[in-house]
Amino acid sequence: MGASHSREDLLESSDSEQEQEEAYEDATEGSSERHPKTPSSSLDDVEAKLKALKLKYSTSSSSSSLAVKLYLHVGGNTPKAKWVTSDKFTTYSFIKTHSETDTDEENDSDSGHDEQPFWVLKVGSKVRSLVGPEMGLKSFPDQRRVDFVARGVWAMKFFTEHDHAEFMKSYEKCLFENTHGVEATEENKLKIYGKDFIVWAKPEAADDSMWEDAEEAFAKSPTPVRQSQDLREEFEEASNGGIQSLALGALDNSFLVGDNGIQVVKNFAHGIHGKGAFVNFSDGYQNGGGGGSAYCTPKKTLLMRAETNMLLMSPMGGGKLHSTGLHQLDIETGKVVSEWKFGKDGAEITMRDITNDSKGAQLDPSGSTFLGLDDNRLCRWDMRDRNGMVQNLADSGCHVNTPVLNWAQGHQFSRGTNFQCFATTGDGSIVVGSLDGKIRLYSVSTMRLAKTAFPGLGSPVTHVDVTFDGKWIVGTTDTYLILICTLFTDKDGRTKTGFSGRMGNKIAAPRLLKLTPLDSHLAGGNNKFRNAQFSWVTENGKQERHIVATVGKFSVIWNFQQVKDGSHECYRNQQGLKSCYCYKIVLRDDSIVESRFMHDKFAVTDSPEAPLVIATPMKVSSFSISSKR
């Protein structure tokens, strides 16, 4: 129960991979030190024998094979987990093919496929994997080693540093081609990333001074982050039904949205606890907005008007995430007081997401507007009609002629922007994530033209968050998080964010937050990163201190200051975009619905951070971050 049943207290820290390294060395004891110290002619003999056995590795569609030692991780998340030698001497190759499972011979000179071929990594007869971010490949240059996931967790150890470097070059080229569909030439990189963002492809040429400036500013923060922190479970609360979402409040209450209704819980300095009122979903709440629809649990909730009202939005059904309308719930009375449809120019339209006008807008007692997002729409809705009147259905007794929300501001894009998610800063600037991986920044004044558009790395952005001051963005993809610094220096020498002006080519490269291959595998093959968010502040001068995301039964927490520290040991000897593997894991006994930090006001004196709340379908738990004694 709680956070005490993982490898160490149900909390796994990847600040150091010492334990994995020791296990790896144990597995290689007596063998890795005896790897073939033979002249090239001896290796040629071995390769000739492999050829004779039809382990073909050099064809018109295959890169050259090289010798490696292959290891397999066994034991999973148990005390007996270790690396074992799978093959003392084998070869790998990158093969261009139309199938992840076909044999090499079946793909040679194959011209019968209409689909574009792709690269796979083949290691001996035991590994054949599509080259992609799902492999979670992690390089250890100082050990001449790479770890990756391919129906198990594997490690390859190279016999020379040159062999390791050559493998990484080939891997990066194959990954680029599989991701973008073109060869990894300088010309193609320029086409994909653009001149202003070419440092995303060449991070060694990036201006990382903005990251360094951020580290200095963070060090001057009035509440310094302690270097040694621990998580302690404070509260655990069972739910009345399957929890679907979590709506955290910054005032007295938070809300668990379940299959049957909304459970009100109390906010405390050490988490959320103690059941209050329970709001049952009545027949008045139905699917998608608008009368006559079938009942459906809301998938999106939004607190408004000093957290006395909640907007509820459900998908239309049929596997679609979009909605044609929403309901407004008065939390104090437990009644649906308004029901709205989305419409523009007399036509019904849909929305896929809604959010507050700004980071602290839910605390405004008079707020009547909110933002909406659809695949090709970004807009601001006003719950008042054009005459300033507010609809009230509390006493109407019927839901016919559902009124249409007032489209107060926005733009409907003619071409496919494929918007997926969005978030707002403290001043109301908007960041939008897209299916193609692009992240666009819009100022408060306009939704028509993005001030800055960051290129995608090839994976769809499924969730996005931004700091209160707009200086940092975290985007969620299935296999990694991308952290972007929006700061830049304009031609007059002034420091701005990408929300206020077009960023030039002197910008910082993004950083990636990833799980180690082992943790990625333990999280489950079908589990993906979801809903990465910064800790929650709503005041100028205060800084977010952590990033949290969920992966299956894992809640994964990064120390934001550590991620920004370019000298941190995690980044040593890395090539390409810097990737941070230093995090803490809280493991639950069920898939996690949501993980979020409470508002900064709930941080107590012995903690650098507000409590972390983790919701699973049947219970919600609160964890405090404190100094290790």
Which of 380, 487, 378, 381 lies closest to 433 in space, CA to CA? 378
Q: How far is CA 287 from CA 55, 283, 405, 487, in A?
A: 57, 10, 17, 42
- 201 CB burial (10 A radius; 0-12, 13-18, 19+): buried
* pLDDT tens, position by position, 415-426: 779 999 999 999
Which of these, 471, 622, 518, lies nearest to 138 by C-alpha position?
A: 518
CA distances from 263 to 10, 226, 238, 326 (A): 27, 35, 11, 19
Least confident of 60-69, 219-228, 472-481, 588-597: 219-228
Q: Which residues on neighbouring strands pair with residue 530, listed in sequence order?
A: 550
Confidence of residue 528 (pLDDT cuts 50, 70, 90): very high
Domain ranges of the chain: 18-184, 209-627
Is it the case that residue 578 has pLDDT exceeding 60? yes
Q: Is 547 left (phi over 0), alpha (psi -120 to 50) or beta?
A: beta
pLDDT score, position 54: 43
Assign domain 209-627 to its CATH architecture.
7 Propeller (2.130)
Strand-pairing partners, residue 297, are: none
Q: What is the pLDDT of residues 120-175, one digit of tens each?
A: 999 999 999 999 999 999 999 999 999 999 999 999 999 999 999 999 999 999 99
The pLDDT assigned to 45 comes to 59
Gap between the Cα atoms of 422 and 461, Å rounded: 10
Rounded CA separation 488/133 (Å): 29
Rounded mean pLDDT of 400-415?
83
**pLDDT at residue 220 above 90?**
no
User: Residue 505 — pLDDT band, cuts 50, 70, 90?
Assistant: low
Q: pLDDT band at residue 24, thresholds of 50, 70 and 90?
A: very low
> Could you tell me which residue, 231 or 166, shows the higher pLDDT?
166
pLDDT above 90: percentage of residues in the chain? 55
What is the rounded average pLDDT of the residues 325-353?
A: 91
Q: Any bridge partners for residue 463, and if so which?
A: 476
Closest Cα partner for 230 from 629, 587, 568? 629
Q: Kindly state the average pLDDT of the residues 381-386.
A: 80
Q: Are 129 and 148 in contact (CB under 8 A)?
A: yes
Residues 6+ apart with CB under 8 A from 103: none
Mean pLDDT, residues 52-79 = 70
Between CA 579 and CA 570 the distance in angstroms is 8
607 vs 62, which has greater pLDDT? 607
As a whole number of Å, the end-to-end CA separation of the chain is 22
- Identify the band that residue 49 occupies on the pLDDT scale cut at 50, 70 and 90: low
Look at residue 190 in the predicted model and tell me its pLDDT.
Answer: 92
Q: Which residues contact 611 (CB under 8 A, 6 or more apart)?
A: 234, 269, 270, 271, 272, 597, 598, 602, 622, 623, 624, 625
pLDDT-based confidence at residue 567 (cuts at 50, 70, 90): confident
Where does the pLDDT of residue 232 fall: very low under 50, low under 70, confident under 90, or very high at 90 and above? confident
pLDDT at residue 106 greater than cutoff 50 = no
CATH number of 18-184: 2.30.29.30
Distance, in Å, from the CA atom of 243 to the CA atom of 255, rounded to the nearest integer, reads 10
Segment 478-500 mean pLDDT:
91
Mean pLDDT for the chain overall: 81
pLDDT at residue 291 above 50? no
Considering the entire predicted model, what is its pTM?
0.85
CB burial class (10 A; 0-12, 13-18, 19+) of residue 228?
exposed
Least confident of 273-277, 501-505, 609-613: 501-505
The predicted pLDDT at position 248 comes to 96
pLDDT band at residue 50 using 50, 70 and 90 as cut-offs: very low
User: Which pLDDT value is given to residue 215?
Assistant: 52
**In 3-state terms, what secondary structure has residue 549?**
strand
Cα→Cα distances 85→26, 70, 90, 140, 477, Å: 10, 6, 12, 18, 33
Task: Supply φ then ψ for residue 193, to 5 degrees.
Answer: -95, -20
Q: What's the pLDDT score for residue 122? A: 96
